[in-house]
Amino acid sequence: METTTVKLSVPVGEEVIHLSALDQQAQRHYAKPMLFFKFDHEGLNDPVFEHLRKGLSVALSETPDFASTVAPLPGSTRKELQLQLNPESGASWRVVDHTAEVNKDAWSYGTFEQLADKHFPLADVPRELLVNPALIDIPEDVRKLPALSVQLNLIEGGIILAICWHHTVSDARGFNVLLNSWARHTKESILRGEPDDATTPAEETRERWRLDHGAANATIAQIPEYVVDAKARSPRSTTSLHLLDREDPLGAPFQISTWYLSSASLQSLRGSLGADGDSGAFTPVEAVSALFWKHVSRARGLLDRCEDGATSLFTTRLEFRARLLPPLSSDYVGNICEPNAHARLPLSELCSPATGASLAKVASAIRVATEAVDDAAVRTYIGLINTLPAVTDLTWNYNGFPGPDFGVTDVSGLDICRTDWGPSLGVPVCLRLAYREGGLLYLFPIDPQGGLEVQALCEPDALERLKADREMAKFVTFKG
Domain residues of the chain, as ranges?
4-215, 222-478
Residues labelled catalytic: 167
The Cα 168–Cα 337 span in angstroms is: 12
Instruction: Give the single-character DSSP code of 344.
Output: E
H-helix segments, 310-439: 347-350, 356-371, 375-387
CA 263 to chain centre: 23
The pairing of beta strand 33-38 with beta strand 158-166? antiparallel
Res 438: pLDDT? 64
Determine the Cα–Cα distance for residues 160 and 112; give it in Å rounded to an integer.
Answer: 9
Give domain 4-215's CATH number out of 3.40.718.10, 3.40.50.1980, 3.30.559.10, 1.10.760.10.
Answer: 3.30.559.10
Pick the closest to residue 36 from 480, 459, 472, 444 (CA basis).
Answer: 444
Helices 263-273 and 284-299: crossing angle in degrees, nearest 10, is: 80
* Torsion sign (Cα): 63, 67, 70, 74: negative
Bridge partners (DSSP) of residue 155 are 158
Tens digits of residue pLDDT in 28-48: 999 999 999 999 888 888 999
DSSP 39-105: ----GGG-HHHHHHHHHHHHHHHHSGGGGSEEEEPTT-SS--EEEEE-TT-EEEEEEEETTSGGGTT
CA distance 378 to 259: 33
3-state secondary structure 121-169: CCCCCCHHHHCCHHHCCCCCCCCCEECEEEEEEEECCEEEEEEEEECCC
pTM recorded for the entire structure: 0.95
How far apart (Å, rounded) are the C-alpha atoms in residues 442 and 129?
23
Cβ contact 401:438 at 8 Å: yes
Q: Do 338 and 25 contact (CB within 8 A), yes or no?
A: yes
Q: For residue 316, report the phi and psi dihedrals to the nearest 5 degrees.
A: -145, 145
81: left (phi over 0), alpha (psi -120 to 50) or beta: beta
- Residue 277 has what pLDDT? 46
Q: What is residue 115's three-state secondary structure?
A: helix
List all residues 6 or more positions away from 207 whose beta carbon is below 8 Å from its beta carbon.
328, 329, 332
| CA proximity to 314, closest of 337, 287, 294 | 294
222-478 and 4-215 share a CATH fold: yes
d(CA 278, CA 263): 16
d(CA 459, CA 373): 31
Q: Are 261 and 475 in contact (CB under 8 A)?
A: yes
Contact 62, 181 (CB under 8 A): yes
With beta carbons less than 8 A apart as the criterion, state whether 23 and 335 touch: yes
Residues of the chain falling short of pLDDT 50: 276-277, 279
Strand pairing class (311-317; 255-261): unpaired
Which option is the CATH number for 222-478: 3.30.559.10, 1.25.40.10, 3.30.930.10, 3.40.50.1110?
3.30.559.10
